[in-house]
Amino acid sequence: MSKVEIYDKAMCCSTGVCGPQVDPVLPKFAADLDWLKSQGHSVVRFNLSQDPAEYAKHDLVKQMLADEGVECLPLVIVDDRVVSRSEYPSRENLAMWTGTSIKPQPAFPMADGGGCCGGSTGCC
């Protein structure tokens, strides 16, 4: 399983899903990270305002901040490789970078004309 690290900009809370104006991308990204955890991956998320020491001790993050400033955040690192910067990636990208299959959502059963449940008896 993959190790996924997210280095966020300074936010008021660990997910940024608080305050009067929530960026709609943040709740979706938080849900995508929960999904990634449920698939067995290690997911760690750092907030610059709450975890500054984590940024200082990670050489790659420290170098990117020195070169580009906070505009490079959020940084997404998978297995010690930067895979995304300056934006929150989609679930599809997270899945691709971690080798995780995205299972299609189950469809509702449809009747095939043989009854309400599609069976030959015509009953449910």
Instruction: Flag whether 44 is in a domain.
Output: yes
pLDDT at 2 over 60: yes
Residue 7 in tokens = 């280095």
Residue 120 in tokens = 């030959």
pTM of the model: 0.77
Secondary structure string (H, E, C) spanning the chain? CCEEEEEECCCCCCCCCCCCCCCCHHHHHHHHHHHHHHCCCEEEEEECCCCHHHHHHCHHHHHHHHHHHHHHCCEEEECCEEEEECCCCCHHHHHHHHCCCCCCCCCCCCCCCCCCCCCCCCCC
Looking at residue 57, its pLDDT comes to 96
Instruction: Flag whether 40 is in a domain.
Output: yes
Instruction: Flag whether 93 is in a domain.
Output: yes
> Domain limits at 28?
3-98
Each residue's pLDDT tens digit, 51-70: 999 999 999 999 999 999 99
Residue 57 in tokens = 């001790």
Q: How many domains does the chain have?
A: 1
The CATH number of residue 77's host domain is 3.40.30.10
Instruction: Flag whether 47 is in a domain.
Output: yes
Beta bridge partners of 85: 75
Each residue's pLDDT tens digit, 18-50: 655 667 888 899 999 999 999 999 999 999 999
Residue 59 in tokens = 């050489």
pLDDT at 101 over 80: yes
Instruction: Flag whether 120 is in a domain.
Output: no
Looking at residue 23, its pLDDT comes to 73
Instruction: Flag whether 85 is in a domain.
Output: yes
Instruction: Flag whether 59 is in a domain.
Output: yes
